[in-house]
Chain A
Amino acid sequence: MFQFILRRLIQSIPVLFGISVLSFAMIHLAPGSPLGVLMDPKVPPKVVEQWERNFNLDKSLPAQYGLWLKNLATGDLRSFKDGRPVIDKIMERLPATLILNLVATIIIFSIAIPLGVYSATHRYSLADHTTTLFAFVGISMPSFWLAYMLILLIVQGLGLPILGSRTFGLTEVGAVAGLADRLWHLFLPSVILSVAGIASLSRYMRGSMLEVTRQDYITTALAKGLPDDEVRYRHGLRNALMPIITIFGFLIPTLIGGSVIIESIFAWPGIGRLAYQSVLSRDYPTIMTINMITAILVILGNLMADVLYGVVDPRVKVK
C-alpha cells in the first residue's frame, strides 16, 4: 500500500510539471497584461514600461518561467497587485472557503443520501416522483438566480443581514452569540452551494441503491427472513455507498477551490474570488499558484479515492 502511494506520488511529478508549463503558457499568451489597465492621463507609458522591467515582464517567456520556478523554489512568489507573498493571500482566504465548502458538503451528504435511499426504497411512489422532479429542478436551476431570489426574500422581506461572513459592526455580544451569527451567515450560501450537489448526489444514491437491491445476496437475505430494514440498511446501504467514494475524491479540490459565483454574491472572503480577481487583473503569480494547488488537489483526491476503494472493497487490491 505504502509503495503504491509512493509510486503514484512520484508519477504525478512530471504531470505537475506539464501542467505548470501548459498553464503558464496559457496565462501568458492570453491577451492583456497586468499593466495594460492603467489609463490615467497622469501616468505616461514610460511608467508602465518601468513597471514591466520591475516585474520582469520584458523578458522572454521561457526566462519568465525560469524565474517563476526559482521563486517557487525559494518560496518568494509575490502578487503583482500588492507585492505580498501569494501563499499568504491564499492562506488568509482558505478558512472561509474551507468552512463554507465543508458545511455545504455536510448538507449535501446528510440530505442527499437519505433522500436517495428513500427514493430507491419507495420506487415509483409519489415521494420518489417528487424528489426526481426536485432533483432535475435543482440541477438545472442557475445557482446565482436562486441566490438572488433567496437574498431578496430574506433581506428585503425580513430585513435580516445575510451577506458576508458575519454581521458588521456587531461587537461585544459574547462568543456564543458571535458564533451563532457566523453560523447564520453560513446558512444561505452553503444551502445554495449544496442544491446542485444534493440533486445530483441523491440521483447517484438512488441508482446505486436500486442496483444493489437487485443483487442476489439481497434476495437471499430477504428469503432467509431477515427484516426489510436489516437487509436494506445493513447489507444494502453499505455496498450502495461505494460509488459515492469516487465522488468524494472529486470533492477535495472543490473544497479548496471555492466558488466564484457564490462567494461574489455573498461577499464571502474566499479563494474563488481571489482566483477570479487575479485572472481579471492578470496577476500571473497568483493565478499560477492557485492553478498548481488545484492540480495537486485533483491528483491527491484521485489518489485518495483509489486508496479508499482498497480499504472498503476487499476485492480491490494493489498489485
Chain B
Amino acid sequence: MAIKRVLFLLPVAVALLFVAAFLGALPNFDKKVNQLVLSSIGDAEKLNPILSVDSASSDINGFIFNGLVKFNENLEMVADLAERWTVRQVSRIYLRPQAALSAQETARRLNAALEPKTREDLQITEIRPVSEREVEVLLDTAGTAVEEFLVAALPKEVFVPLTRADLDLSSEQKVFKGPKELSEKVRQELSKAGLSVVETKVKPWGTVSLRTVGEEETVRLALRPILEAGEGEGEEKTPAVHLSSIESFPIEHRPVITFSLRPNVRWHDGEPFTSKDVEFTFLKVMDPGTNTVRRPMFELVDRLETPDPHTVRVTYWKPFAPSLESWAIGVIPEHLFRDQDINTSSLNRNPVGTGPFKFKVWEADEVITLVANPDYFEGAPNLRQLSYRIIPEPPLKELEFFIEGVDLDTPQPHQYHRYITDERFKVYERLGNGYTYIGYNLRLPLFQDVRVRQALTHAIDREAIVKFLLFDLGVPSTGPFPPQFWYSPPDVKPLPYDPEKAGRLLDEAGWRDTDGDGLLDKDGEPFRFTLMTNNGNNLRINTAVLVQRQLEEIGIDVKIELFEWSVFIRDKVNPRNFEAVVLGWGLGLDPDVYEIWHSSQTEKGFNFVGYRNPEVDRLIEAGRTTFDREERTPIYWKIHELIHEDQPYTFLYVGKGTPALHEGKFRLKRSTDRQEVVEDITMTENGLLYFFKDWFRVRGRAVFTSS
C-alpha cells in the first residue's frame, strides 16, 4: 500500500535529513578565522555616533569612528583624530563707535605697552584687531591681571559695554514666526538707532541670543517697539525680549579650543578627512531636526571655525570643563552625508568611519561583522575580523561562551562563580562608573528631616546587599562619585550598619512606637512608604526586598511597587509622583554632576528627588567652569562630603564589571621600533578592550573541546 508506506517513511526521512546535516556540519565546527566574537543581548540600532542611544551601537561605533580626543588607558584625555589641542582664552574688546582710536591703533598701542616680561606673566599670546571696532586678545589663562593691564593701557572712553538680548520664542510664536525673522527684526531696530549687533546666535530651543554694543538703556530704547509687541499679545504677557548687561566690565572672556587635526587620515572609502567633517558633525548635532541626545553637550559653543583643512577652532560662551570631553564624539563623513536626511540615511546601516575596523555586513538581530582597516592611522589591527553577535538570553550567552562561540562575556554576579572556578577562563574585574541608590522624594514631609534619612541609611545593611546580591562584586558607595576616581574623596566612610543608632536618630526626630503595633509613628501616622523600582532588573528588585526587610526590623513599613521601565520613568519619576525609588546612575568621566544635584534641576531635570543645597550649587557651578584638575579636586571632594552628610539618597553600591576571556586565547602584540613585544591582556582603567587593536588570536589551539 503506497500511501501507507509514504506516510510512515516520511518521519524517518525527516530524521535522516537532520542526521545527514549534523554529519555534514560536524567536521567544520572548528574552522574559524583570526577574529574576535563579541556579543550583546540587543541588536544595534543606528551605527552613527551622533544618533546612537543604545549600548550595542555605541560599542560598535567605537570600533568604526574616532573623535577628536579620547580617554586613554588611564582615563586621561589624549589626542585621537586631533594631533594636539590647546585651550586658550579670548578676551574681546569692543570699541565705542565714536572712539577716536581705530581697532588697528588700539592693538598697536596695546602691543607697544606690553613689555616682554608682562607678556610672559600675563600669558598673552597675541593681540590683534579682528574688525574695525573689535580687538581680540589671545591668552593662555584668564585672570583679572589681564583686565587690569588692558584698562590701564587704554583710556576708558574707548570701551563700550555689551548688552545681551535673549529673545524667547517658545512663548511668543504668535508674534514672530521664527528665530531668524525675529533676530532680523531686532537687527533692523538696532541699526536704526545706530547700534551694531556683535553677534547673533540662534539656539535650538526657540531662543535667539544677540550681543550688541551699547548700554542697556540705549538698547532698551531702541527695541521698544518689539518689547511692546511682545508684551501686548494674548493672555500671557511674557516679553519676547529679555535684556541684560553682560558684565559691568567691557571685556569678556571666552575659552577657545584649537584642534590641530592629523594630516593624512582617510575615511574608509578613501576620501581624506578634514576639518569640514568636524564642522559638519557639529552642525548636524545642533540641527533641531536631528534626533540626537548629544546636543546639550555642545550648547555652550559660540562658534566653530575651520581656518584650514587641518585646524578646528571652537569658541565657547563661557568656561565649561566637560566641553573638551564632548569632542570625543565620533566624527561623521561630510562628503557622504551631505545630501542625506541624517535620521533615515542608509549610511546609519552602512557606516563609513576612520576607525581601526571597517563595517562589512549587518545581519539584523544576528551578527554585525567588521573587518580590519589596513590603513588605520595608528596602524592596522592584528585581528582580521570582528563579529558582534546578538544573543538575547543571558544564560545562553554563557553557554555560547563556554563552547567558544563568543570570545568575551561579562557574567552577572550570580554567574560569576562558574566563570572564576573554571580554569579555562580568565576573569578580569573593574569597578563600574556608576552606582545604585535609593532616592527619597525630599518634597515629602516624611523625608525632609536629615536625621530620618541618616537613620534610613544606618538601618540598611549595604555590606549584606553587596555580599548576598552582588556576591561581593562591588563596594558600598558613600556619595555621588565612585571611589576609584580622582574626584572622589579618599576618606569618606560609609555610614555603618547600625539599627540602634537608626532608632535613636528616629527617636530624636519624633518617631516612636507609641501604640505598640511594631511600627514607628508620629502624630498618629505610622512610618510607611512605597519603594518603587523597575520590573526586569532583578538586582534592584532583590535590593528593594532586602531593604524592606531591614527597615521592617526598626519599625518602618515599606511597600514595594514594580513598574515597567518606561511607565516608571514617565508616570512616576518624571512627574515626581513617588515616595522612594531604587535606581542607578551611569556616569560620564567628567565629574560635573550639575544635572543630578543642582537645585535648578529639581523641576524638570534629573534632580527628581528635589535636593537643594546652596553650598553644593555653588561648588557645582565652580567645578564646571574650572579646567584645572588640581583646582577641581577639592571642589568635588567637598561636594561628595556635603551630599554624604545630607543623605538625599541612600547610596547603596558601586558594582564591578567582570569581563572574561578564554585563558590564553588572545594576547597583545605591539611592534616597537625594531622588535615585536607579546604580552598578556590586562585590565586597564578604560576597560579590557582599550588596546583591542593590538590583540591577536593565538594560533594552533583547538577551538572546540568536547570535554
List 29 contacting pairs A-B, 8 Å CB cutoff, sorted by A.
A31-B567, A32-B564, A37-B565, A37-B569, A39-B606, A44-B604, A45-B574, A51-B291, A82-B45, A84-B349, A96-B366, A106-B14, A110-B11, A110-B14, A117-B7, A155-B403, A160-B706, A161-B29, A161-B403, A161-B704, A164-B367, A167-B405, A168-B367, A179-B21, A183-B17, A184-B24, A232-B4, A264-B392, A267-B365
Q: Which of B361-420 contact A (CB under 8 A)?
A: 363-367, 385, 387, 389-393, 395-396, 399-400, 402-403, 405
User: Does any Cβ of A come within 8 Å of B143's Cβ?
Assistant: no
**Given contacts A42-B296, A93-B364, A110-B14, is CB(A54)–CB(B606) below 8 Å?**
no
Binds B, one of A61-69, A169-177, A293-301: A169-177
Q: Which of A211-251 contact B (CB under 8 A)?
A: 227, 229-230, 232-234, 237
As a 0/1 sequence over residues 68 to 107 of chain A, the CB contacts with chain B under 8 angstroms (1 = contact) are 0000000000100111100001001100100000000011
- Chain A neighbourhood of B309, CB < 8 A: none
Decide if A37 touches B291 in the complex (CB within 8 Å).
no
Decide if A38 touches B389 in the complex (CB within 8 Å).
no
- Residue of A81, A187, A230 touching B22 (CB-CB under 8 A): A187
Decide if A42 touches B297 in the complex (CB within 8 Å).
yes
Decide if B390 touches A267 in the complex (CB within 8 Å).
yes
Query: What residues of chain B have their CB less than 8 Å away from a CB belonging to chain A?
Result: 1, 3-4, 7-8, 10-11, 13-14, 17-18, 20-29, 31-33, 35, 37, 42-43, 45-46, 51, 53, 204-205, 288-289, 291-293, 295-297, 343-345, 348-349, 363-367, 385, 387, 389-393, 395-396, 399-400, 402-403, 405, 564-567, 569-571, 573-574, 583, 585-588, 593, 595-596, 604-606, 704-707
As a 0/1 sequence over residues 36 to 53 of chain A, the CB contacts with chain B under 8 angstroms (1 = contact) are 111111111111001100
Decide if B296 touches A43 in the complex (CB within 8 Å).
yes
- Chain B neighbourhood of A36, CB < 8 A: 566-567, 569-570, 574
Decide if A47 touches B295 in the complex (CB within 8 Å).
yes
B84 to A: closest C-beta gap in Å:
26
Q: Which of A164-206 contact B (CB under 8 A)?
A: 164-165, 167-173, 176-177, 179-181, 183-184, 186-187
- Chain A neighbourhood of B566, CB < 8 A: 31-33, 36-37, 282
Distance A32 CA – B566 CA, assembled complex (angstroms): 5
Nearest 7 A/B pairs, CB to CB: A180-B24, A32-B566, A183-B21, A36-B570, A269-B365, A41-B595, A159-B706
- Chain A neighbourhood of B32, CB < 8 A: 169-170
Distance A41 CA – B564 CA, assembled complex (angstroms): 20
**Given contacts A82-B348, A152-B399, is CB(A177)–CB(B565) below 8 Å?**
no
Decide if B392 touches A113 in the complex (CB within 8 Å).
no
Distance A79 CA – B673 CA, assembled complex (angstroms): 51
- Chain B neighbourhood of A151, CB < 8 A: 396, 399
A222 to B: closest C-beta gap in Å:
15
- Chain A neighbourhood of B390, CB < 8 A: 267, 269
B568 to A: closest C-beta gap in Å:
9
Distance A106 CA – B43 CA, assembled complex (angstroms): 30
Decide if B389 touches A158 in the complex (CB within 8 Å).
no
A-B contacts besides A31-B566, A93-B365, 8 pairs, CB < 8 Å: A32-B566, A40-B586, A51-B291, A82-B349, A84-B344, A110-B13, A114-B8, A187-B22
Decide if B389 touches A168 in the complex (CB within 8 Å).
yes
Decide if A39 touches B21 in the complex (CB within 8 Å).
no
A172 to B: closest C-beta gap in Å:
7
A264 to B: closest C-beta gap in Å:
5
Interface residue SS majority, chain A: helix
Decide if A187 touches B349 in the complex (CB within 8 Å).
no
**Given contacts A37-B569, A170-B31, is CB(A163)–CB(B365) below 8 Å?**
no
User: Does any Cβ of B come within 8 Å of A255's Cβ?
Assistant: no
Decide if B1 touches A233 in the complex (CB within 8 Å).
yes
Distance A41 CA – B435 CA, assembled complex (angstroms): 13
Q: Which residue of the partner chain A has the closest CB to B366? A: A269
Distance A151 CA – B23 CA, assembled complex (angstroms): 18
- Chain B neighbourhood of A38, CB < 8 A: 53, 293
Decide if A160 touches B396 in the complex (CB within 8 Å).
no
- Chain A neighbourhood of B35, CB < 8 A: 169
- Chain B neighbourhood of A83, CB < 8 A: 46, 51, 291, 343-345, 348
B225 to A: closest C-beta gap in Å:
30
- Chain B neighbourhood of A164, CB < 8 A: 366-367, 389, 391, 405
Distance A47 CA – B295 CA, assembled complex (angstroms): 8
Decide if B46 touches A82 in the complex (CB within 8 Å).
yes
B295 to A: closest C-beta gap in Å:
6
Distance A181 CA – B21 CA, assembled complex (angstroms): 6
Decide if B403 touches A41 in the complex (CB within 8 Å).
no
Decide if A173 touches B1 in the complex (CB within 8 Å).
no
Decide if B25 touches A167 in the complex (CB within 8 Å).
yes
- Chain A neighbourhood of B28, CB < 8 A: 167, 170, 173, 177, 181
**Given contacts A180-B20, A267-B396, is CB(A47)–CB(B567) below 8 Å?**
no
Q: Which residue of the partner chain A has the closest CB to B36? A: A169
User: Does any Cβ of B come within 8 Å of A265's Cβ?
Assistant: yes
B707 to A: closest C-beta gap in Å:
7
- Chain A neighbourhood of B587, CB < 8 A: 41
Q: Which of A1-35 contact B (CB under 8 A)?
A: 31-33
Decide if B402 touches A47 in the complex (CB within 8 Å).
no
Which among A173, A184, A227 has the greatest number of chain B C-beta atoms within 10 A?
A184
User: Does any Cβ of B come within 8 Å of A130's Cβ?
Assistant: no
- Chain A neighbourhood of B704, CB < 8 A: 159-161
Distance A43 CA – B604 CA, assembled complex (angstroms): 12
